[in-house]
Structure 1
Amino acid sequence: MAANLLNFVRMKLKSVFLLLLFISNLSFSQQSLFSDGGFETAIQKSKKEKKPVLLFLYATWCSHCKKMKKEVFTNPEVSGFITENFVAVAVDAEKPEGIELKKKYPIDAFPAFFFIDSDGAVLYGLLRECTAADLISEAKTALIPEKQIPYLEKQFNADYKNADNCYAYITTLKKAHLDVSVPTKKYLSTQSNEQLITETNWRIIANGVSDIESREFQYVLKNQPAFAKVSSPVRVEKKIVNIVSELLRPFTENLDTIGYFKNRPIAKSVGLRKTDSLIFTYDLLLSERTKNWKSYGKSAIESSQTYYWNNPEKLKETASNFQKNIADSESLKYAVKLSERAIEIKPSADGYLLTARLYQKMNDLKKCREFAEKSRNFSNSLGFSTKEANDLLTEIQIK
């Protein structure tokens, strides 16, 4: 008995030791990959060792950053290649050093990787999650002088009328989320309207043009079939939708209603169903974020049937906002129309329950009970909880 107990204790201690060793190895792997002392120390070490710096900017809340720390930076092949060829430094972008670095190396996404020379110039960059193999591949590319931004910039400036030079330069800048507008404009200014319709010029427009009122984009709008032949109809439409999104999205994010409605007619002038649908979505989003429910209701009533009529999730989302924030009877009747349409397309417990609550708000308890029971029955048929439907039925029974 005592011997068995002793063996059991020994096995447990061995398991704990192996676990602690594993955690220690993970920690050591990341510590040995990234230099201590911050960015300036890494620059000085870069000069001494004649290696470029790999700057990793992260945020503590970024799930992609956490995943890479756990799965990629602990990979022996990654740590071996990086430490051999770079001086790697990790900086929290939301701490003082990181905030200062973001002024020099602007970023709009995490994780961010900048390959930097000993003078602080960006050689190469990417802002996205990478697998171990992907990060090694990108790091290898960053070591090739002909793939680096300074070389590509020099080549472009030496012959800025060359489409291939321009494309190579702006795509590398874009990968690092750096400004591509200056070289794009410089090159495209050398091209007539008719010369724009080539495969390479389309790629330059697709990657480098963001001004919806620019000559080049307006020419694309007027000549979509011609550009579709050197690209594809899907790619041309995607570019048009993206440029409308890039125009309006910042105003919705910043709650800038003045800027939004100033630029909305420009976006509306594109005149495609997909862009009009996107504009409608942004109309609702801005109204919702600014809590302008009168504007929300007006927009929804005007256009939901045009753009959302076959999308049950969007119909329920819109009807739910009516149920929570809008009280006039005509608007609620319209919300019922949306929720019932959503159920017609795709029956669901939440759709029935939403419709019940809309009828409750309209003081139509008979209809409320009908749809609450449908919600309960639907949930029962799938083995789901019926609590919300039961609670609503109890509430209206009391009344």
Structure 2
Amino acid sequence: MKTILSLLFSLAVAVACAQSNNGVHFNHGTWKEVKQLAKEQNKSIFIDCYTSWCGPCKMLSKNVFPQAAVGELFNAHFINYKVDMEKDEGPLLKKQFNVSAYPTLIWVDSDGNELHKSVGAPNADELISIAQQVIDGKGLAALERNYTTHPNDFSVMLSYIEGLSNAYEQQKIQVVLANYFKSVKGSELLEEKNYSLIKNYLEDIYSPAFEWFHKHQADFKKRYAAEEVEQKLYRTYLSYGHSLVRKDKIDYKGYKQYCKILKKRKVNNREKIVAYIDESICRAEQNWDAYIQKVNENMKLGYHESTNSFLYYNWAKAIDNSNQAQSKHYMQAAQWMEKAFEVSQWPLANNIVYLEEKLKILVKADNTRDKIKQLEERITTLRNQVKIDTH
């Protein structure tokens, strides 16, 4: 017999569904209630893991989930659950399912065991295709079982790696590759299938395979596109450095060893790479004096593209979002936001957003009343100009 709580929850779901015949019907109970409902209806659970600030998440909610074809499939086969990963039970589910990017789409059984995971915002056809894989029992969990049973089958391993890549499970990919490359020696790494694995998936700079790749890069450049090989080395070293820096934890010991490796291997552009990581460390520490100094130094050295409006915007927002910034830091952030407006290639109607962000930053700084008034008048003038241009 259903509990009273379950009956009430089911009634709420029915009412919500009745309000709209199209699109995906999302349930809004607790995680426990959703699992109970899945058991009662003998369905799997689809979880839309989102945040309030995620643009692609909003695109999914606005353009994809409301489509009738998507709703028809999802409502028939899944209990659909939308969760803000930064509120209520979100942080717990984020940890449970190892969510690190948004949107992350997860399918689980009624006990909460993961069936499939996909990161990114697919269009309607792509989302239907992914969901159908889950329905057919071909999700990531099935790929993992197949790989465990046939670890030496290259095609099985490759399918599993591709699934892990779509799920943004980078650490698991490195484990699979480490196991595979144990049996691949020396010049065998030059073979196309192995180079493809290195190029597309290998991110561990300490793995023997990557060390060999670095040491024999000239041989790879003779056989494959030299620029492609060079970019793989650069991006991998840079990405590994960034992986050492997290908001809640910085691996200082790992960073020190990392710098030694870059020097020992004579990595191309190592000074530029280290400069970027130093920026990230200052940002994670919220050491805004050092951050501003480092960013400006790197600009003078030519490490940053001076015409990239997104760079200026991101630098400014880092300070704007901090609870440890001071007035002088906000003023620098405001200057960067102004620079974003100046160099952006967007139409004026879109660029005004940079000035609106600048206005918000100035409000946080002290003694800026005159500047605020001037900027408000400037924004009004530009908005009026846009109206005139569009008529």
TM range (shorter): 0.5 to 0.7
Which stretch has the larger CA shift, 115-124 or 168-177?
115-124
Q: Shift of the alpha carbon at 1:221?
A: 0.6
Asked if structure 2 preserves the Cα contact closer than 8 Å seen for 1:252 and 1:286, the reply is yes
User: Any conservation in 2 of the 1:78–1:136 contact (CA below 8 Å)?
Assistant: yes
Aligned residues of 2:282 and 2:288 also touching (Cα < 8 A): yes
The 5-angstrom pairing of residues 220-299 of structure 1 reads: 220-228=213-221, 232-254=225-247, 256=250, 258-259=252-253, 260-287=255-282, 290-291=287-288, 293=290, 296=293
Q: What amino acid is aligned across from residue 81 of structure 1 in structure 2?
A: L
The answer for the alignment partner of 2:133 in structure 1 is 141
Give the conservation status (yes or no) of the 8 Å contact 1:33–1:83: yes
Contact 1:39 1:91 in 2 (8 A): no
Q: 1:69 to 1:305 in 2, by over 3 A?
A: closer
Distance, in Å, in 1 between the alignment partners of 2:256 and 2:287 is: 14
Give how far 1:87 is off: 2.1
Residue 218 (structure 1) shift:
0.6
The number of equivalent residue pairs is 300
1:277-303 per-position Cα deviation (integer Å, ceiling 9, x unaligned): 332333345457524549947x976x7
Q: Match of 1:113?
A: 105
Give distance in 2, aligned partners of 1:32 and 1:48: 19
Quote the Cα distance in structure 2 between the aligned partners of 1:228 and 1:154.
Answer: 37
Q: Taking structure 2 as the reference length, what is the TM-score of the superposition?
A: 0.64
Q: Which residue of the other structure, out of 195, 216, 219, is the alignment partner of 2:209?
A: 216
The answer as to 2:48 corresponding to 1:56 is yes
Corresponding residue SS for 1:77: helix
- The answer to whether structure 1 residue 197 and structure 2 residue 197 are counterparts is no
2:71 corresponding residue in structure 1: 79
> Residue 186 of structure 1 is aligned with which of 179, 182, 188?
179
Structure 2 matches for 1:333-344, cutoff 5 A? none
The whole-number CA distance in structure 1 between the counterparts of 2:21 and 2:231 is 42
Structure 1: unaligned runs, 5 residues or longer? 1-23, 326-342, 344-382, 385-399
CA separation of 1:232 and 1:47: change in aligned 2, threshold 3 A: farther
Select 2:92's aligned residue among 81, 100, 118: 100
Q: CA–CA distance in 2 between the matches of 1:150 and 1:267?
A: 37
Query: Measured at CA, do residues 205 and 294 of structure 1 come closer, stay the same or move farther in structure 2, by a change above 3 Å?
Result: closer
1:173 aligned to 2:161?
A: no
Are positions 1:127 and 2:116 aligned together?
A: no
> Aligned partners of 1:121, 1:230: CA distance in 2, in Å?
44
Alignment equivalent of 2:57, drawn from 65, 73, 89: 65
Are the counterparts in 2 of residues 26 and 74 from structure 1 also a CA contact under 8 Å? Answer: no
Instruction: Give me the whole-angstrom Cα distance separating, in 2, the residues matched to 1:196 and 1:48.
Output: 52
Distance, in Å, in 2 between the alignment partners of 1:41 and 1:230 is 57
CA-CA distance at 1:268 after TM superposition? 4.1
| Whole-Å separation in 1 of the counterparts to 2:241 and 2:279 | 13
Cα distance change of structure 1 residues 66 and 199 upon mapping to structure 2, 3 Å threshold: same
- Answer yes or no: is the 8 Å Cα contact 2:49–2:103 preserved in 1: yes
Provide the C-alpha distance between the structure 1 equivalents of 2:66 and 2:117, rounded to a whole number of angstroms.
21
CA contact under 8 A between 2:27 and 2:81: conserved in structure 1?
yes
- Are 1:153 and 2:144 counterparts? yes
TM-score normalised according to structure 1 size: 0.62
**2-structure distance, mates of 1:227, 1:129:** 34
Task: Report the identity percentage.
Answer: 23
Q: What secondary structure, in the 3-state scheme, does the structure 2 residue paired with 1:96 have?
A: coil
Shift of 1:79: 0.9
Higher CA-based Rg: 1
Cα 1:37–1:187, aligned 2, differ >3 Å: closer, same or farther? same
How many Å apart are 1:216 and its aligned residue? Answer: 0.7
Q: Over aligned residues, Cα RMSD in angstroms?
A: 4.0
More helix by share: 1
Which stretch shifts more, 268-277 or 134-143? 268-277
Aligned to 1:355: none
Measured against aligned partners, the alpha-carbon deviations of 1:212-249 in whole angstroms (never above 9, x if no partner) come to: 12101111112224445676434433332232122221
Q: Is the 8 A contact 2:23 2:67 kept in 1?
A: no
CA contact 1:287–1:296 (8 Å) conserved in 2: no
Single out whichever of 108-117 and 251-260 deviates more from structure 2: 251-260
Structure 2 residue runs of 5 or longer lacking an equivalent are: 1-15, 317-327, 330-342, 344-380, 383-391
Q: In the aligned structure 1, how far is the partner of 2:78 from the partner of 2:97?
A: 18
How far is the alpha carbon of 1:93 from its aligned partner? Answer: 1.3
CA–CA distance in structure 1, aligned partners of residues 196 and 54 of structure 2: 31
Does the 8 A contact of 1:35 with 1:42 survive in 2?
yes
Do 1:283 and 1:296's aligned partners in 2 also have CA atoms closer than 8 Å? Answer: no
Residues 24 and 70, structure 2, Cα contact 8 Å, conserved in 1: no
- Deviation digits for residues 153-188 of structure 1, max 9, x if unmatched? 232223322222221112211211223232222222
The separation in 1 between residues aligned to 2:265 and 2:109, in whole angstroms, is 43
Query: What SS class does the counterpart of residue 155 from structure 2 fall into?
Result: helix
Q: 1:234 to 1:50 in 2, by over 3 A?
A: farther
C-alpha distance in structure 1 between counterparts of 2:43 and 2:273, whole Å: 47
Residues 127 and 176 of structure 1 are in contact (CA less than 8 Å); yes or no, is this contact kept in structure 2? yes
